[in-house]
Amino acid sequence: MKNLQGKTMPHIVLENINDTKEAYEAVTPFAQKTDGGILKVLDKYINAKEETALVEALAIENGVNQNFFIQLSSKKSSLTVRLLPLTDPEKTRGVKTIMAMVAKQIKDTDEKISYGKNNLEEFLLHA
């Protein structure tokens, strides 16, 4: 998954889940203090066909606020957690940590769900 500049976009594939609504329901808003600020999931939205969900998030790090959306979308037997390209925040530690925490909330709902392809391994270990 690459953006326009050819850089790999952060993403996490969850295996053995293809129900966007189930993933949407697993996500719970939270706020977590960090050394330099706060990480929050504010709200969540799902489209009428229940194929795509958006998670509204805020990362405040060292005085810089970034509002962005994490997109949840399902394919066959997996679900991808990625940044919504329209909001394209700077890929800071806080942004990546929130993505990992959202993926973990979904994974923790069912022991059959596992982490598949991702480029946030370091963040998943601490989520």
Q: Name the phi and psi angles at 104, rounded to 5.
A: -65, -40
Q: What is the pLDDT along the chain (127 residues), one digit of tens a residue?
A: 554 444 678 999 999 998 999 999 999 999 999 998 999 999 999 999 999 999 999 999 999 999 999 999 998 999 999 999 898 899 999 999 999 999 999 999 999 999 999 999 999 998 8
Residue 81: the pLDDT is 97
Which pLDDT does position 11 carry in this prediction?
A: 96
Give the predicted TM-score (pTM) of the model.
0.93
DSSP string covering 75-125, please? Answer: ETTEEEEEE-TTT-----HHHHHHHHHHHHHHHTT-TT-EEEEES-HHHHH
